[in-house]
A and B are shown apart, each in its own frame.
Chain A
Amino acid sequence: MASATIGRACLILALGVALYGVAAAVYAGRTQDRDWAASARRAVYALCGLTTIAFVILEAAFLRSDFHFATVTSHSSTTTPGFYKAAAVWSSQEGSLLLWLFLLSCWSSLVLYLTRNRMRDVTPYATAVLCVFGAFFAGLLVFAASPFATVAVAPGEGAGLSPLLRHPGMMIHPPMLYSGYTLFTVPFAFAVAALLVRRVDAEWITATRRFALAAWFFLGIGIVLGARWSYTELGWGGYWAWDPVENASLLPWLTGTAFLHSLMIQERRGMLKVWNASLILATGTLAILGTFLVRSGILDSIHAFGASTLGTPFVIFIAVLIAGSIGLVVSRRDALRSENRLDSLLSREAVFIGNNLVLVGLAFVTFWGTFFPLISEAVTGTKSAVGPPWFDRYTVPLALALVLLSGIGPVIAWRRATAVNARRNFVVPVAATAALGVVLAIFTPAADRPWAFGMFLCSAFVVVTVGQEFARGVRARRAMAGGSVPVALVQLVRRNRRRYGGYTAHVGFAVLLAGVAASSAFQEAKDAQLVPGQTVTVNGYKIDYQRGTGRVVTSGGRLERMEFGAVLRVTKDGKYVATLRPNRGFYPQNAPFVPISSAFDGEATSEVGMKAGLRRDVWVAVQPDLTSLRPYIKQQDKLLVAAVKQAGTVNPARFGQVRGAIFDEVVRRYVSNPPPATFRVIVSPLVMWIWIGAIVTFGGGLIAMWPAPDGVRRRARGRYAARVAKDLGRA
């Protein structure tokens, strides 16, 4: 219990140092006193230390199943495997908020350490904003959702982590999303600070660009991991369902992606200052909105959680962020005036602006559709919801335009493209894309689905344009320094990480969307009820239900779950393809003396059987029908009750043994005579390319994020110093 007290104390102190940090930083900003600025920065380091201790205490409580902690009791159990005990920390509201604060304090400390000797007028206010975020979340943890609430007498067992969350994704997906959300607060804070002190040159962007990129990287990985998790869980709507909570994570990612592109225009040409400031302020606010949506219960979502009391503070906080952001941009509009104008619509700047408009358009469509139940209720008095077809109607053409622009952007000239430039850069990609279009139209059914066909062509165009850029770069590199193609390629990328990382990300994203287009346009799904020996055919794949399976799974000597499944032999044109083993696990309640039947009314989770390939995935989930076993289970329950009554007392160990034996018998009966089971079979083409595309996209992001070699960095600094000197001279 002492650890819970220490944890509580850490959070109270964290709130204290965050509030102190706000005051000290604002004072430092107003007086330009370096000592106070340093003190505020150290307050952020202290915040990081305190939340780290609190987080470690909570994690340790979960790992040792300390049921004195109320949150451990309700989200973990002794039968929860150790890996999932560690992840169960953020399955609770309190734990997830603590994770948010922990990550926020870590990133805040890092950025303030890296900028400790830079932008001395801006960093105090940025520190203040970061401390406001810290104080908000620490306040929630102290006053509204304490992870260190305890009970005097610890129960013998906890409820356990929901089986649905027992997936490797649980360990990585939430921390990735939260890292993305919290990292976006860094450029947000620096943008606010830069606007406050009217220092709106590109320095705040340069100082935090890598953090914005890291936020985009982590949030993107989190979204893709969620999609992958969803794909392997029955009923989670494939890999994307336009669910409000999914959409909430997509919103800051879209606006953040737009920001990462438009900041290049500000860095290079001093344009789009209002746009960039607005974009990053919107992105930071959307990151908080995403966190809020998960907790408010205001929208119906698969991830919506029991109505929470945290909605009001979040609404107030978001309202302050929105009002403050608008006020700041409007009041600083004179300082945000562009230094240059757009020279031509046929220029890289124009393509970047087009790309930004499409990304913001996508974000707006997603926002509108997500919040439409609230909007419609406010306008008409009736709550209405729009489904995936509505989202698809707008997002598909916008995605197509986005991919096309991501192919044009890297090769079109800055300022003004000429006919020579266009010929040089676009003849080969356009010819190659046209040739591919003809081949696809003749030899595949791709042309039957115009949107998907369009996406294939646009994606091919991106791959060829970027490939052409790489080829030219390698050729030039070899002409200058010699060496083999791989060596020249590595050197080329190493010396221009940002550029070629970006190109790689474009290719990955085009491939990802081609996978999405193919799998959603050409997917075939069928539900079938089968007994062993029966078959179902989907898209030429014959699925033969060979036999039922079952087993009792224990963890730490205690029953964790019972699995009932099937062995399916998959063939195509008489040739063996795979053997799939989908199953459904039933998790008994972790309480002593509960009836046997309750095990089948508790939580259950499906493990799909899947043969994944570069061309297509065969995906099968099973829902076994246990109705025929119910009479036996009911009879055993009656016998157990009678035995307990007769004995007058119950030995828990003995009861556990008897229960285990009955479960073994249930499984044996199922396997020896499997009742009809319902199967969902899905055959989806090119799903694998979604994951490959994601890896390439974020691999590109990683390349762009990686620190440049010293020489290149020195040159970049030199260019930057020259620009600052120019700005100062102009001022």
Chain B
Amino acid sequence: MDPARKRTVRLVVALSAAVLLAGALVYTSFSAGNPSVSPSKLRASAIPGRAYQVTGKVADWQKSGSVQRFRLRDREGTRSVPVVYDGPVPDPFRNGREVVNTVRKQGAGYVGEKDSLVTKCPSKYKNKDTPA
């Protein structure tokens, strides 16, 4: 085959493969992504059984054995949702801390997915307004 034609064929094949892969990447990310919501938005629009990534501040944390019950409150505001999470919590977890948890609605409450609880590191860089 003519070298120039060979190079063109290679380029077309490579670009097609790249476009296909990128398409798969985009498609799966949109179909597999969990909506990232605030507690008030979750309360307003959660569909039972669907996974949501909720970010909020911990309140009313109670522990019974390995089961943790707490409410997640809006960063600004007072709306909150009750969450039950089974398993050990990260070290910085406590009332007032901002956490990210993947939850599913079950009945009137929300159940956290195992090992999905992430507590934001509170210590590294504080807001100017945040007291030490």
Residue ranges of A at the interface with B (Cβ–Cβ < 8 Å): 73-75, 91-93, 96, 158-159, 161-165, 233-237, 241, 243, 294-295, 300-309, 341, 345, 361, 364-365, 368-369, 372-373, 375-376, 379-380, 382-387, 389-390, 393-394, 527, 529, 584, 601, 603-606, 621, 623, 625, 627, 676, 678, 680
Contact = CB atoms under 8 A, between A and B. Distances in A.
Given A300-B55, A341-B7, A385-B33, A164 B94 contact: no
B29 A307 contact: no
Nearest to A300: B100
Contact of B37 (A162, A364, A372, A383): A383
B37 to A, nearest CB: 7
B15 to A, nearest CB: 12
A159 B32 CA distance: 42
B119 A235 contact: yes
Given A235-B89, A382-B36, 6 more contacts: A75-B123, A235-B119, A236-B90, A307-B127, A365-B25, A601-B95
Contacts of A389: 32
B23 interface: no
Contacts of A96: 125
B125 A306 contact: yes
B90 A529 contact: no
A383 B35 contact: yes
B87 A393 contact: no
A305 B66 contact: no
21 contacts: A74-B132, A93-B125, A162-B121, A234-B90, A234-B91, A235-B88, A235-B91, A235-B93, A300-B55, A302-B121, A305-B126, A307-B127, A308-B125, A376-B33, A380-B30, A384-B35, A387-B34, A601-B94, A603-B91, A604-B94, A676-B65
Contacts of B127: 306-308
A202 B88 CA distance: 54
B73 to A, nearest CB: 16
A302 B125 contact: no
B48 interface: no
Nearest to A308: B125
B117 A235 contact: yes
B132 A73 contact: yes
Contact of A368 (B29, B53, B90, B91): B29
A390 B123 contact: no
A678 B64 CA distance: 10
B52 to A, nearest CB: 9
B119 A302 contact: yes
Question: What is the size category of the interface that chain B forms with chain A?
Answer: 35 or more
A395 to B, nearest CB: 11
A385 B22 CA distance: 18
A223 to B, nearest CB: 17
B44 to A, nearest CB: 13
B46 interface: no
Contacts of B121: 162, 164, 302-305
Nearest to B121: A303
Interface in B49-83: 53, 55, 63, 65-66
B91 A164 contact: yes
Given A158-B132, A390-B28, A303 B124 contact: yes
Most buried by A among B7, B32, B91, B117: B91
Contacts, number: 154
Nearest to A343: B3
Given A306-B130, A390-B29, A627-B63, A384 B34 contact: yes
Contacts of B109: none
A623 B36 contact: no
B33 to A, nearest CB: 3
B35 to A, nearest CB: 5
Most buried by A among B65, B66, B95, B119: B66
B47 interface: no
Contacts of A159: 132
B110 to A, nearest CB: 16
Contacts of A243: 118
A91 B123 contact: yes
B69 to A, nearest CB: 13
Interface in B1-34: 3, 7, 10, 21-22, 25-26, 28-30, 32-34
Contacts of B100: 300
Contacts of A623: 88-89
Interface in B96-129: 100, 102, 115-128
Contacts of B118: 237, 241, 243, 300-302
A74 B88 contact: no
A260 B78 CA distance: 52
B103 to A, nearest CB: 13
Contacts of B88: 234-235, 527, 621, 623, 678, 680
A384 B53 CA distance: 8
A301 B55 CA distance: 10
Nearest to A304: B120
A341 B9 CA distance: 15
Nearest to B26: A368
A237 B10 CA distance: 42
Nearest to A305: B125
A107 B131 CA distance: 36
A161 B90 CA distance: 18
A381 B36 CA distance: 11
Nearest to A365: B25
Contacts of A625: 63, 65
A361 B91 contact: no
Most buried by A among B7, B28, B33, B122: B33
Given A235-B117, A300-B118, A306-B127, A390 B32 contact: yes
Nearest to A90: B124
